[in-house]
Amino acid sequence: MVAILYLISALLFIFALRGLSHPESSRMGNIFGVIGMIIAVFTTLMFKSVLSYYEIGAAILIGGAIGSFIALRIEMTALPQLVAAFHSLVGLAAVFVAAAAFYDPVAFSIGKVGSIKTASLVEMSIGTFIGAITFSGSVLAFGKLQGTISGKPIVFKFQHLINAVIFLLIIFLIILFVINQSPTIFWTIVIVSILLGFLVVIPIGGADMPVVVSMLNSYSGWAACGIGFTLSNNLLIITGALVGASGAILSYIMSKGMNRSIINVVLGGFGGEQDTSASKDNSDKIVKQGNAEDAAYIMKNADSVIIVPGYGMAVAQAQHALREMGDILKKEGIEVRYAIHPVAGRMPGHMNVLLAEANVPYEEVLELDEINHDFPMTEVSFVIGANDVTNPAAKTDESSPIFGMPILDVEKSQSVLFVKRSMATGYSGVDNELFYRDNTTMLFGDAKKMCEDIVKSLSA
Amino acid sequence: MEAHSSEVFVIGLTVFFLACIIGYYVVWSVTPALHSPLMGVTNAISSVIIVGAILAAGPQGFDTSKIFGLIGVVLASVNIFGGFLVTYRMLSMFKKKTKKTKEKE
């Protein structure tokens, strides 16, 4: 009976993910997920060994209240941090469950204290190891995304060698743990894994965060899998594998969006190496500056506008003002569409959520390969808070660190409007030659303020 | 006993690989526009680890293992409620949009 209920729960989780293939079916998918979770929890509560309903109920209420409070209050621009924070909790929960299994193996029928089955010990320590890495890695990612810790990659000598040595040390500790089952060694594995989690994320820069967040997503799944093997629980194994696969695919898509291998991202140090290649001097080139009225004029006289949003739009919370601008243009009979680069923002799909929040219909929001061939037929590209993802150097300059990265071909449209705070380079540290082209107009200022001003000029 | 436990492990491994394959195909079918909600949902469902935490917190009385279990239940609950709710918020924005604009048009 239990096995069947768990199976139903696992199937519902698969349907939950399947629902996300289209916005229309996605809400139902989320409901499937909720039902699956309710079934899983109540099935477990029915176990004969589970008696302390009050304590467990209280724990669920406390956790649920905290989780609900955060989820309902969070700003959509802060989603990446939130997801990172949530990942850290999954990792930590995995560590606690593994610890509980170690201290009370009878409750999980995996042996007795001091004589736990070898296979269970191996699985337990692997679950602990991945859980602890997920925890500390996510905490650090959270700090970087939130801005409490510098987003700059921190690189030091022998970094990879140190990580490799720590990894070998953990394997050694796991072997030792399996042999003598000592609590001291168990907690040493936890601490050393936490340290490794920090070290793995520390060299990764702000722009690589979409990959890191996806990767940690994947880890949290593998951690659940490890615990699933420990408890011989198929539901945990299936769910963990689904989440692990999902995170891995997202990491792959994100690193492909930057034309880098996952290994390259994990080894890190992206922001630290470009000094050499970014040194091309552009100070003598002329930049054409414009203001909101110029932008309004240019767009009003166009037939089609493609808006390219980036992380800068999120930072400035400009999505609502931007949508207002789009609405006015649409009323004028101008075709307005949005082009999303896979790595725009700080997590996969970040821009889509922000535009959805601002009531932009999702039919107007297109992915890179859906819209890229339309730029030559487009009169105005309006780039707001994006930079590297439009840089033609990715196609032409082999020495550029972003060479080979797929870009949105805004350069092919008749004119380009660039909303930027300053002439600063993007996160990759590379200068963008688009700024100096004749058909480019730079609009310096805060993204939100600029959109509001354009709206004013358009309605005037 | 040994034979039995290795059998259990192989069954687990079978389930694991099949689930990975299902995950692979299901996730590739997710539209890129919904990648953020995907992270929200996976985050919530990976907290099914609460099952293990409940088992640890289950027995009466208080010992180390039970305290760990209860902490696990709290942490996983934060994620379950938080993950599903934030996904719900994201998805309802995607849905509302089309309806609203269709009404407008």
The pair of structure tokens assigned to A25 is: 């079916």
Burial A341-380 (b: 16+ CB within 10 A, else e): bbbbbbbbbbbbbbbbbbbbbbebbbebeebbebbeebbb
- Judge whether A10 and A239 are in contact, CB under 8 Å: yes
Of the candidates A253, A243, A420, the one whose C-alpha atom is nearest the C-alpha of residue A347 is: A253
Report the chain B residue with the minimal C-alpha distance to residue A59: B74
Above 80 in pLDDT, residue B100? no
Helix (H) or strand (E) holding A417: strand A415-420
List of chain A residues whose C-beta atoms are within 8 Å of the C-beta of residue B73: 56, 59-60, 63
**Residues of chain B numbered 45-64 and touching chain A (CB < 8 Å):** 45-60, 63-64
Task: State the nearest Cα–Cα gap between B5 and chain A, in angstroms.
Answer: 8
Q: Which residue is associated with the tokens 């800068």?
A: A312
pTM over 0.90: no
Of the candidates B49, B70, B8, B61, the one whose C-alpha atom is nearest the C-alpha of residue A110 is: B8
Using the Cβ of A320 and the Cβ atoms of chain B, whether some distance falls under 8 Å is answered with no
Using the Cβ of A127 and the Cβ atoms of chain B, whether some distance falls under 8 Å is answered with no
pLDDT at A431: 76
Residues in CB range of A108: below 8 A, 6 or more apart: A101, A230, A231, B52, B55, B56
Summarize the confidence of residues B65-92 as an average pLDDT: 95
Helix (H) or strand (E) holding A268: none
Helix (H) or strand (E) holding A310: none
Question: What does the H/E/C string look like for A178-222?
Answer: HHHCCHHHHHHHHHHHHHHHHHHHCCCCHHHHHHHHHHHHHHHHH
Alpha-helical (H) ranges within A74-158 are: 79-103, 118-146
The pair of structure tokens assigned to A304 is: 């089609």
**Residues of chain A numbered 326-355 and touching chain B (CB < 8 Å):** 340, 342, 347-350, 352-353
Mean pLDDT of chain A, nearest integer: 87
Of the candidates A76, A37, A79, A29, the one whose C-alpha atom is nearest the C-alpha of residue A60 is: A37
- Helix, strand, coil percentages (3-state) for chain B, rounded to 5, are 90, 0, 10
- Distance between CA A152 and CA A259 in Å, rounded? 20
- Distance between CA A16 and CA A29 in Å, rounded? 4
Cβ contact, residue pair A67, B82, below 8 Å? yes
Select from B24, B39, B43 the Cβ nearest to the Cβ of A348: B39
Amino acid letter, residue A216: L
pLDDT at A58: 95
- Distance between CA A383 and CA A410 in Å, rounded? 8
Dmax over CA atoms of chain B, in Å, equals 69
Three-state DSSP class for residue A332: coil
C-alpha pair distances (Å), A222 with each of A128, A226, A283, A460, B14: 11, 6, 49, 56, 15
Local structure of residue A149 (DSSP, 8 states): S
- Distance between CA A128 and CA A222 in Å, rounded? 11
Cβ contact, residue pair B19, A237, below 8 Å? yes
- Judge whether A394 and A403 are in contact, CB under 8 Å: yes
pLDDT at B17: 95
Above 90 in pLDDT, residue B5? no
pLDDT at A258: 82
Q: Which of A208, A388, A409, A453 is catalytic?
A: A388
- Judge whether A352 and A344 are in contact, CB under 8 Å: no
The pair of structure tokens assigned to A3 is: 């096995």
pLDDT at A145: 87
pLDDT at A203: 83
Strands A380-384 and A304-309: parallel
Three-state DSSP class for residue A260: coil
The pair of structure tokens assigned to A41 is: 């929890």
- Judge whether A381 and A416 are in contact, CB under 8 Å: yes
Cβ contact, residue pair A349, B41, below 8 Å? no
Local structure of residue A129 (DSSP, 8 states): H
| A388 carries an active-site annotation | yes
- State the pLDDT confidence band at B66, using cuts at 50, 70 and 90: very high
Most B-contacting residue of A8, A12, A14, A20 (CB-CB within 10 A), to test interface: A20
- Distance between CA A112 and CA A104 in Å, rounded? 8
Using the Cβ of A59 and the Cβ atoms of chain B, whether some distance falls under 8 Å is answered with yes
- Judge whether A37 and B54 are in contact, CB under 8 Å: no
Summarize the confidence of residues B45-71 as an average pLDDT: 92
Residues in CB range of A40: below 8 A, 6 or more apart: A5, A6, A9, A235, B48, B50, B51
Range with the lowest mean pLDDT among A131-135, B4-8, B40-44, B97-101?
B97-101
pLDDT at A434: 84
- Judge whether B48 and A224 are in contact, CB under 8 Å: yes
Cβ contact, residue pair B95, A27, below 8 Å? yes
- State the pLDDT confidence band at B3, using cuts at 50, 70 and 90: very low
pLDDT at A208: 80
Local structure of residue A218 (DSSP, 8 states): H
Low-confidence ranges of chain A (pLDDT < 50): 271-280
Report the chain B residue with the minimal C-alpha distance to residue A65: B78
- Distance between CA B3 and CA A102 in Å, rounded? 22
Strands A440-444 and A304-309: unpaired
Reported ipTM: the value is 0.90
Strands A415-420 and A289-290: unpaired
